[in-house]
Amino acid sequence: MIAASGDALYVGKARDLRKRVASYTQPVRLAERLRRMISETVALEIITTHTEAEALLLEANLIKRLKPRFNIVLRDDKSYPWLMLTEDHPFPQVVKHRGARVRKGTYWGPFASAWAVNQTVTAMQRIFLLRSCADTVFAHRSRPCLLFQIRRCSAPCVGRIGEEEYANLVAQAKSFLAGKSAAVQQELAAEMEQAASNLEYERAAAIRDRIRGLTHVQGSGVINPASLRDADVIAAWPAAGQTCIQVFFFRAGRNNGNRAFFPTHARNEEPAAVAGAFIAQFYDDKPPPPCILTNLVLPEQDLIAEALSLKAGRKVEVCVPQRGEKRAVVDHAVTNAREALERKLAESAGQAKLLEGVAELFKLPATPERIEVYDNSHIMGANPYGVMIVAGPEGFQKGAYRKFSIRGPLTPGDDFAMMREVLTRRFARALREQEERRAWPDLVLIDGGAGQLSAAKSVLQDLGVNDVTVVAIAKGPDRDAGREWLHMDGREPFQLPPRDPVLYFLQRLRDEAHRFAITAHRAGRSKAISRSELDEIPGIGAARKRALLNHFGSARGVKQAGLADLEAAPGISREIARRIYAYFHPGVRVELS
């Protein structure tokens, strides 16, 4: 169902489309929410699928992409970390991985958080002594690094271990990740005894330390149920018109962590319907495990299982355990869901009170639903970035954060010009794209004093934006937190009492913007530092750049290489070699084919 603006209002599926649409022609029998939806609908778009399971998958995909206002929507913008063992190097590397699987390797996961996967990487280093360094670092080591000294790496970079022996470590690591830790432990114990009988006591002691690390890892974790190999436990808990859904990830019999979700839905939506919609959308961009345990019988539970099986290419079971170890795990997830929702409701109540205080302080017509905070970061004008963070009744809305690489031209270090550029780009684009008013700020906070306020007001006036309250928050004397001055049109600069809760709230907003600005600046600076002259040569992509750096050691080595040396480099054709040589030696005539 599509609104006049072209936005999707609702996405649904139906076995009998005629009957489903006809039900919307009798509004007196519908809930107020559905009547409002029908009144805003100006068009229908219909897609036919071969099966109902395909329709369910498509529905989940469209809801997640379009985020229609009248659907139950899972707002999950984060990608999940995985553990990767590379397979494109003689000595595989163990690393944390996010995003598309473009590199050849074996992937294990997903993990609920970066912390969970980092713990596993550390365990892999302690038990199996696998390297975690980048290939470029590996290629240029001349002596072992600190990880070798603290017995977390076998130092293959400097030949302390052979390729065959290292491959054995990798095989043991894969067995461990596949849940065969007992077999790995037995193998290590046999190796230790063999080393001891051969009077190789140092080697036996090293293997003993690895066995201790493996025992520690096996004993850690809140719950590692023996009956669960690969499964997700999904529990829903409703309260006060909201629902928390807690997901626990179990892979190879180990707990990979858990995460809480708060999907948006109507206040009177049934918890089972929320859980069903959540599951369908949750696995839109990740493979479902063979078993999904829930605490509620879902509407169309068999259809959901069929759709997930179709997506996974194997059978996926969705069930509600009634007793035993599986039931205990589900109950544990329910407890976590309830506690997470209680915390969120308590935080929301406190947040609402603070927002009421902000509205009263700045004489806003209503409690602000969206506060935007702007800040800049640079070092002596270098790598300048501006940022926008967003806060509202639900706290910080990190999915709405934006960073702006300052384009200029401007005088280095001109903070006023930076702020003018950021605000111009943000609001000009919003006006150009006719952004919905609910995405507009009720309050704009600027980190700075009267000068920054004047710059911000002039930009908004030039764009014809006159209904947004702008406030500048300037640091106090000696940058003392608690003595900030607030600047706004029509009022003299003023301060709040040192322990005022609203002041603490404004400080938290300002500090979050400052943190995000520094993060953006550092990332931009690191990117600029890591750039090489090779990036400027046409035809040199990431693979050829890596091959050149591995062969010559540095960009300077490539620059100083002769034409014959370039042609001899692996992966570099005669034409590319001549192109590289011509780039670094513009005065020398080189024929390019």
Q: Could you write out the DSSP letters of every residue in 387-456? A: EEEEEETTEE-GGG-EEEE------TT-HHHHHHHHHHHHHHHHHHTT--GGGS-SEEEEES-HHHHHHH
Average pLDDT of span 69-80: 84
Please say if the pLDDT value at position 224 is more than 70.
no
Cα gap 238→385, rounded to integer Å: 41
When the pLDDT of each residue in the chain is averaged and rounded to a whole number, the result is: 86
Task: Classify domain 371-528 at the CATH superfamily level.
Answer: UvrC, RNAse H endonuclease domain (3.30.420.340)
Q: What is the pLDDT of residue 221?
A: 41
Please say if the pLDDT value at position 481 is more than 70.
no
Please say if the pLDDT value at position 359 is more than 90.
yes
80 contacts: CB under 8 Å, gap ≥ 6: 98, 109, 110, 111, 112, 286
Q: What is the pLDDT of residue 532?
A: 65
User: CA angle 469-470-474, nearest 5°?
Assistant: 145
Q: Give how far Cα 478 sits from Cα of 284, 474, 482, 518, 537, Å.
A: 51, 11, 11, 20, 49
Cα gap 108→96, rounded to integer Å: 10
Q: Cα dihedral sign for 269, 273, 277, 283?
A: positive
Reply yes or no on domain 2-66 having CATH 3.40.1440.10: yes
Cα gap 162→156, rounded to integer Å: 7
Please say if the pLDDT value at position 216 is more than 60.
no
Average pLDDT of span 10-28: 90
Q: What is the pLDDT of residues 154-196, one digit of tens each?
A: 999 999 999 999 999 898 888 888 777 777 777 778 878 887 8
Query: What pTM was computed for the model?
Result: 0.70
Residue 414 identity (one-letter amino acid): D
HSE, side-chain direction, 13 A CA sphere, residue 238: 15
The gap between the terminal CA atoms of the chain, to the nearest Å, is 57
The token pair at 479 is 């940058």
Cα gap 334→238, rounded to integer Å: 10
The token pair at 534 is 């090779």
The token pair at 347 is 């935080």
Q: Which residue has the higher pLDDT, 574 or 458?
A: 458
Q: What is the pLDDT of residue 176?
A: 80
Cα gap 458→470, rounded to integer Å: 11
Strand order in the sheet with 231-239: 254-261, 242-251, 231-239, 291-294, 317-319
Q: Give how far Cα 115 sits from Cα of 122, 257, 333, 469, Å.
A: 11, 9, 19, 40
Helix (H) or strand (E) holding 337: helix 324-361
User: CA angle 548-554-560, nearest 5°?
Assistant: 85
Q: What is the pLDDT of residues 89-124, one digit of tens each?
A: 999 999 999 888 888 899 988 888 888 888 888 888
Q: What is the pLDDT of residue 222?
A: 40
Q: Which residue has the higher pLDDT, 503 or 587?
A: 503
Cα gap 122→273, rounded to integer Å: 40
Average pLDDT of span 294-301: 94
Q: Which residue has the higher pLDDT, 279 or 347?
A: 279
Cα gap 262→247, rounded to integer Å: 11
496: left (phi over 0), alpha (psi -120 to 50) or beta: beta
Q: Using only the alpha carbons of the chain, give its radius of gyration.
A: 29
Residue 138 identity (one-letter amino acid): F
Q: What is the pLDDT of residue 115?
A: 84
CATH number among 3.40.50.10860, 2.40.160.210, 1.10.730.10, 1.10.150.20, domain 533-584: 1.10.150.20
Please tell me the least confidently modeled range out of 329-333, 444-448, 562-566: 562-566
Residue 471 identity (one-letter amino acid): V
DSSP state of 113: S
Domain regions of the chain by residue span: 2-66, 371-528, 533-584
Q: How confident is the model at residue 209 (pLDDT cuts 50, 70, 90)?
A: confident
Do the first three CATH levels of 2-66 and 371-528 match, i.e. the same topology? no
Average pLDDT of span 494-515: 89
Contact 463, 428 (CB under 8 A): yes
Q: How confident is the model at residue 218 (pLDDT cuts 50, 70, 90)?
A: low
Contact 478, 443 (CB under 8 A): no
Q: What is the pLDDT of residue 561?
A: 83
Strand-strand pairing, 485-488 and 469-474: antiparallel
Q: Which residue has the higher pLDDT, 101 or 277?
A: 277
Q: What is the pLDDT of residue 380?
A: 63
Contact 293, 330 (CB under 8 A): yes
Beta bridge partners of 94: 85
Cα gap 331→580, rounded to integer Å: 63
Q: What is the pLDDT of residue 344?
A: 87
Q: How confident is the model at residue 220 (pLDDT cuts 50, 70, 90)?
A: very low
User: Which residue carries 């007196």 as its tokens?
Assistant: 28
HSE, side-chain direction, 13 A CA sphere, residue 70: 20
CA-CA-CA-CA torsion for 116, 121, 127, 128, nearest 10 degrees?
A: 150
Cα gap 234→275, rounded to integer Å: 8
Tell me which range, 46-50, 111-115, 205-209, 528-532, is most confidently predicted by mean pLDDT: 46-50
Q: Which residue has the higher pLDDT, 435 or 439?
A: 439
